[in-house]
Amino acid sequence: MSTTKIDFIYLSEQDMIRAGVTDMPACVDTMEEMFGLLYQGDYRMAGPNNDSHGAMVTFPEHSPFPNMPKPTADRRMMAMPAYLGGSFCTAGVKWYGSNVANREKGLPRSILMFTLNDPDTGAPLAHMSANLLSAYRTGAIPGVGARHLARKDSKVIGLLGPGVMGKTTVAAFIAVCPQIDTIKVKGRGQKSLDDFITWVKVTYPQVTTIEVVDTLEEVVRGSDLVTYCSSGAVGDPTIYPIVRREWVKPGAFLAMPASCSLDAGMEAGDVRKVLDNTGLYQAWYEELPKPAHHCVPVIGVRFMDMIAEGKLRPDELEDIGKIIAGDGVGRQRDDEIIIMSVGGMPVEDVAWGTVVYRKAIEQGIGVKLNLWDTPVLS
């Protein structure tokens, strides 16, 4: 019998943990499956090319309204909607509020919620705390890249930024490269470094060496896996953390989910350049003022600027989904240098949110809420 009644579940952060949101090996596998669907085209995101990162509210530098938020560092209010097919067959939207000044209040920089929906009716299935959801799906993407593109004998991680994104990226690297035993880390403050070191010692006792370093060169030099996960001011690429070719070990894999710039040697044609989704960067490039890297600091956007400047051919960019599907090549030589841009996509939230939601339903986790028994307006 059909019914008009709609219930959905609310999942707090603790509910999300109980339902497995921090299971990084499972998250890496889920992201790999998601990339397969992306490559097949069984997905939709926002925008005219169905590849948009989302819709962001921006604030003016000078406003006549005293209560309007100021455009401070990492000030974001954004809706990130998507549909994902395959075994997921769900839709959803992440609402993203972010302000770097939150940290002064003891809050995370970003406060996130995710709503999962039935793609047919649009009815809510779940409304969930999404800070961990977002952090783990973001970290899992470098893990998927490393599974296919890093050397199997990788042992040393070089990390800029020991915060949330740094921790989840390290977790994903270790999930796919079990020989890792050394981490070199650069951070801004002693507290975040101490927290990171404690977390690594407790979570990954196989890591026998943790070295705190002071320079980007020390982060990169000698590392098999490199990731920059620090946040900062956007607008001037000359102040984004740089990777210089002379620092990079032959055979290194670099995954960049945050601000990054490259020297001419790293932009050269013999460094393989991989994107998590080419369409994402094309959508960004269409939406942004130029040069686009001034507005979105991830390196994939810089690659779009390079194409516009005639410094890079579109066919020199590779898509991780194509590599995962076996239609592109993985690592070909031990000395190849491969760099991957990680932009973040709402299909990732839909994929991992669906897995966690189904586990919560299976285990009776969460609070059931009623939308209506019969809608007043229909």
| For the chain, percent of residues with pLDDT exceeding 90 | 92
Residue 1 belongs to some domain of the structure: no
User: Distance between CA 329 and CA 323 in Å, rounded?
Assistant: 6
Pair 119, 17 in one domain: yes
Mean residue pLDDT across the chain: 96
Residue 377 belongs to some domain of the structure: no
Residue 141 has pLDDT above 70, yes or no: yes
Pair 146, 29 in one domain: no
List the CATH number of the domain containing 97: 3.30.1780.10
Pair 269, 145 in one domain: yes
List the CATH number of the domain containing 319: 3.40.50.720
Residue 90 belongs to some domain of the structure: yes
Pair 328, 235 in one domain: yes
Residue 74 has pLDDT above 80, yes or no: no
Neighbours of 114 (CB within 10 A): 27
Range(s) of the domain holding residue 190: 141-344
Residue 378 belongs to some domain of the structure: no
Residue 335 has pLDDT above 80, yes or no: yes
Pair 273, 325 in one domain: yes
3-state SS string over 121-171?
CCCEEEEEECHHHHHHHHHHHHHHHHHHHCCCCCCEEEEECCCHHHHHHHH
Per-residue pLDDT of 300-311, as tens digits, reads 999 999 999 999
Residue 330 belongs to some domain of the structure: yes
Per-residue pLDDT of 219-252, as tens digits, reads 999 999 999 999 888 899 999 999 999 999 999 9
Per-residue pLDDT of 45-73, as tens digits, reads 999 999 999 999 989 999 999 999 988 87
The per-residue pLDDT for 205 is: 97
Residue 280 belongs to some domain of the structure: yes
Pair 334, 364 in one domain: no
Pair 175, 111 in one domain: no
- Residue appearing with tokens 């009623």: 370
Report angle CA 325, 328, 331 to the nearest 5 degrees: 105
Indicate the number of domains in the chain.
2
